[in-house]
Amino acid sequence: MSKHVLLIEDEPNIIEAVSFLLSRDGYNVSTHSNGHDALEVIEAKQPDLLILDVMLPGRSGFDILADLRGRETGEGIPVLMLTARGQTKDREMAQRIGATRFMTKPFSNAEIIETLNEMSLA
């Protein structure tokens, strides 16, 4: 049974690239592209893994994660956070609010696959 990965990201080309990579590696990928209703989508889809961008239209990835960790259903989902801002304080913030892993754009394909594999095994 392949793992279900939900990718929340607003940049179409990145969505396409990541979806391609994960599908090729055997993941079942679904996507969502704004922050407003991201939490509801997560709740509804109950993914095995979550990839969450920080700068989303409507709502920031940090807010979404913080809310998610506060919910019973979202407590245990491994989350990989992506950010393009590349600041250390973003990494600290992500760790503090409960991101499982954190990655700065641009990343290498091998890196994101490897990270997701580790997360799904853990």
The footprint of other proteins (CB under 8 A) covers: 10-14, 16-18, 20-21, 33-34, 55, 57-58, 84-87, 104-110
Least gap, CB of 75 to other proteins (angstroms)? 28
SS3 per-residue string spanning 59-115? CCHHHHHHHHHHCCCCCCCCEEEEECCCCHHHHHHHHHHCCCEEEECCCCHHHHHHH
Q: In terms of CB distance, is 16 or 75 closer to other proteins?
A: 16
Least gap, CB of 22 to other proteins (angstroms)? 11
Least gap, CB of 79 to other proteins (angstroms)? 18
User: Structure tokens of 25?
Assistant: 């590696």
Report phi then psi at 28, rounded to 5.
-95, 110
Least gap, CB of 55 to other proteins (angstroms)? 6
Number of other CB atoms surrounding residue 42 within 10 Å: 24
Q: In terms of CB distance, is 10 or 67 closer to other proteins?
A: 10
